[in-house]
Amino acid sequence: MSLVRSRRRLALCAALALVLSACGGDDSGGGPSFQGNEDLFTSAGFGEAVDAVSGEAGADAPILRVQVTEGGAEFQLRDGEAATGFIYTGGELKPVEVEIIGGGTLEGLDFPLTEVDPAAIDKITSGVVEASGIDDIEVTVMTLEKQALDGQLRWVINAEGGGRTGLVFNADPDGSNVTSPTGDIAGADAGGSGGGESGGPADVDSAVQDAQEIADCIQAAGTDVEAIQACSE
């Protein structure tokens, strides 16, 4: 397998939260193919990615993070106090470099690949439609990792639809219990589709804005661990 030089930075905070940001780009010539990556947002397509990683790293490979985007399904693996990774894109599995930034330990942050359930994907996509009340909602990013606040393994889902962007949902590892941390979404946009009662548009917009400001702060902090911590204060 050729090495894809799409490097990722995992910033390790004192709260043992992993913050991932892009570092560098692809220098492998023509770059990886994104063809067929839309299938990764289905259980069948994502299952192929999980099987590929299992065949390369083992069924019990210690996973730090799984993230699905239009660019592919990326798997961050723990290797002691270091990390390695793979990305499944265009129907191929390729290794990626992972750099750990900051102090602390990775102990307790990993989970076995066997806990990554492909069946969760279809449950999540249908659950997001139900939870949002927006018929044309589309999932854009799905991330599975242990959460900083409670250490629980959980999916965090980003979506857009009904004229809205930046919608966020949480789900259990098996894809059940899809909920919005900002409250009900349906009715927040008068032009959006779907039914349901309004969850307080102003409150939802404010919560989404706050979340975006925190994300922007973390991005601007780069590898400064203290600055990253200050973003949530």
Which helix (H) or strand (E) segment holds residue 5: the answer is strand 4-12
Which residue's entry shows tokens 């299952």?
Answer: 47
Task: Report d(CA 75, CA 220) in Å as an integer.
Answer: 24
* Model pTM score: 0.71
Instruction: State the pLDDT at residue 224.
Output: 57
Task: Report d(CA 233, CA 104) in Å as an integer.
Answer: 20
Instruction: State the pLDDT at residue 99.
Output: 86
- Is the model more confident about 123 or about 226? 123
Mean pLDDT of the chain: 78
Pull the structure tokens for residue 151: 């250490």
Task: Report d(CA 212, CA 37) in Å as an integer.
Answer: 26
pLDDT tens digits along 104-148: 889 999 999 999 999 999 999 999 999 999 999 999 999 999 998
The yes-or-no verdict on residue 45 having pLDDT over 50 is yes
Buried b / exposed e over 119-134, threshold 16 CB at 10 Å, is ebbebbbebbbebbbb
